[in-house]
Chain A
């Protein structure tokens, strides 16, 4: 489980995170909400260990993540606002290299992940040639390869159609059902079919 204690973070002169605390249990979704510019992405990046909070502490399974380092990264899958895909590589190659750096990923795993997100037809196309929604789906397919228990998703619905948005919620619900955790920044409501949701409102 992931616990944040009194996180503070400045962005230049702006005090973006002002004492944010939360606790995320197995099988739970934490919905980070709030208007634009209130630090949702900043919070997610701090929670990933990409940036260090200026004050406060993040604890993963009882240990501070600053001490865990790679051990924490192994258990984390982060889908950022940028899709994190190489435009010159095909969807399959992108996933093979991204996932392969963590653990051996077979072609079958990649195909089934792409099929789950309904982009199997794009597997052999360079991602530069895909639409923004298709790229987002390919980026999300990374979650399904490997077995990271903690998903950190920054606006996963961006560029997705209604069916895609519903699919993302369905995937999160399935992930929670297997004891996973999700930290999701999104506008509006997240309606899961099953699983616990708590909401963190940033102002």
Chain B
């Protein structure tokens, strides 16, 4: 008997596969990132370029742009696998679907969310955010985008069978993402005012722990229904 592949090995294989696929489609990879940068630079152009005014809107702009650009890539999380039949094969691989879905979500975040976090100081700088607050913004976005990916995996799994699902997906996920927006923007706000921002950051961490542990189970159940 050939030894079975372990759960963790299967998860790393799947992450490797999805990363490889993402890099074969490099142009798609850049879309959310370019969107994020374009949106954040549009605000100074359309409002006034006064640094004081830009600083006032910076937290909101950064977080709304990050939220929308993460949402942009979410549709592809499970859709392409469902369309070519590989999702079915994943379910039939005998590995726990929860682990597979979590691995796919993580891979999705690595190519869609992490670059956003890395580039966020640049966007923050263009809005006149002080260096201390940039770090807090990046920290917040790190937790926020990951939470959003997990939340989004549930939405993506529920809309597997729906054609043109991106609007429905946004309607499902955006309301759930409101706490992220509120606490994330608040953390940046506090840091810019020179106050302690650990409170909202802790809350973001709690949201991350909550979604990362529960969302894969909900998404796995939805995937099983979706492939039926």
Contact = CB atoms under 8 A, between A and B. Distances in A.
Interface of A: 45, 48-52, 70-71, 73-74, 76, 78, 80-89, 93, 97-98, 100-104, 126, 146-147
Contacts of B5: 100-104
Interface residues of B, number: 28
A49 to B, nearest CB: 8
Interface string B72-98: 000000000000111011111111100
A122 B64 CA distance: 46
Given A97-B17, A101-B10, A73 B93 contact: yes
Contacts of A126: 24
A89 B84 contact: no
B84 A86 contact: yes
Contacts of A84: 84-86, 88-89
A47 to B, nearest CB: 12
A70 B95 contact: yes
Contact of A97 (B2, B13, B91, B228): B13
Interface of B: 1-5, 10, 13-14, 16-17, 20-21, 24-25, 84-86, 88-96, 227-228
Nearest to B82: A82
Given A88-B21, A101-B90, 10 more contacts: A45-B228, A50-B92, A51-B228, A71-B94, A86-B84, A88-B24, A89-B20, A89-B21, A97-B14, A102-B94
Most chain A CB atoms below 10 A, which of B10, B85, B89, B94: B89
Contact of B14 (A48, A101, A104, A146): A101
B172 to A, nearest CB: 24
B139 to A, nearest CB: 34
